[in-house]
């Protein structure tokens, strides 16, 4: 049975006081035709002790608009990427976004044809650990979950109920590239993008540069200002393993 969402203006007189409020209720088409412009709302679980449970007719019923529905639904940000490795810059973007959205989903993309620093499952595990630590520092802000996906990012965002894609901007080069991508996503998939400028300390943080330094045997401990300690320890283990795929990623930009 199809059900339609309505907004109603409700007038009641609990404890002798006049109260006018807005309510949201779902009605089936049959209920709508039967009740016309009047229906009854059962209010059994009041949020305030001064307002007891009541049953009262709704004065008016106004069909909800698409605009109002977008405003009322949960706002979910999708922060997608390879996170290979996840950096302090990534965590900074997530921390800033937690005060802007109801929920954040960090999507870690899987590309089997790409040689990565960390295996896919380990990237998910590292990101989950670090993000859980971040959320635990302030539980009053939006919750953050980590999910894995394959295929197009916009498809993952839509299937996850995302309101917008979240992107971190470090400099004008990022802005130019991300703006073009944002316009494409809006035209093709009707998905908006929200840009967050990273903290000044992470303006030049780059996962690809970190991979190159690690692959060429650089001292990753000197990158502790832009990489979490957990990531540093995992990279050092890869450097010590001669069979690791890390060693195939090494290339010096000065020699190209």
Return the closest-CA partner of residue 101 out of 16, 194, 36, 18: 194
Whole-number CA gyration radius for the chain: 25
Which residues, including other chains, have CB under 8 Å from residue 180's CB and lie 6 or more apart?
Answer: none
CB atoms under 10 Å from CB of 83, counted, come to 22
Tell me whether residue 56 is one of the annotated catalytic residues: no
**CA dist list (Å): 200 to 170, 171, 177, 231:** 8, 10, 20, 21
Tell me whether residue 114 is one of the annotated catalytic residues: yes
Catalytic residue chosen out of the listed positions 88, 163, 207, 211 = 207
Catalytic residue chosen out of the listed positions 82, 88, 90, 103 = 90
Give 148's DSSP letter: E
Residue 23, beta-bridge partner list? 8
Tell me whether residue 90 is one of the annotated catalytic residues: yes
Return the closest-CA partner of residue 245 out of 110, 90, 120: 120
Catalytic residue chosen out of the listed positions 103, 167, 170, 234 = 170
Tokens of 142: 């939006």
Burial letters 10-37, b for 16+ CB under 10 A, else e: bebeeeeeeeeeeeebebeeeebeeeee
The catalytic site residues sit at 90, 114, 170, 207
């Amino acid at each position: 049975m199809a059900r339609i969402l309505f907004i109603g203006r409700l007038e009641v007189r609990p404890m002798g006081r006049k109260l006018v409020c807005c309510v949201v209720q779902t009605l089936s088409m049959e209920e709508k035709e039967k009740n016309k412009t009047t229906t009854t709302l059962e209010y059994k679980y009041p949020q305030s002790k001064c307002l007891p449970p009541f049953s009262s007719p709704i004065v008016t019923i106004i069909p909800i608009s698409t605009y109002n529905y977008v405003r009322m639904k949960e706002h979910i940000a999708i922060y997608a990427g390879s996170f290979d490795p996840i950096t302090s810059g990534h965590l900074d973007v997530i921390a800033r976004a937690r005060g802007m959205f109801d929920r954040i989903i960090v999507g870690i993309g899987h590309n089997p044809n790409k040689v990565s620093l960390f295996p896919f499952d380990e990237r998910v595990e590292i990101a989950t650990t670090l993000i859980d630590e971040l959320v635990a520092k302030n539980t009053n802000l939006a919750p953050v979950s980590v999910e894995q996906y394959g295929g197009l990012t916009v498809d993952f965002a839509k299937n996850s109920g995302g309101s917008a894609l979240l992107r971190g901007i470090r400099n004008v080069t990022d802005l130019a590239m991300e703006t073009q991508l944002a316009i494409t996503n809006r035209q093709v998939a009707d998905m908006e993008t929200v840009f967050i400028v990273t903290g000044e300390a992470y303006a030049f943080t780059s996962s690809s540069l970190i991979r190159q330094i690690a692959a060429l045997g650089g001292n990753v401990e000197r990158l502790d200002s832009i990489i979490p300690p957990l990531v540093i320890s995992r990279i050092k283990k890869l450097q010590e393993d001669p069979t690791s795929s890390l060693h195939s990623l090494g290339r010096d930009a000065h020699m190209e």
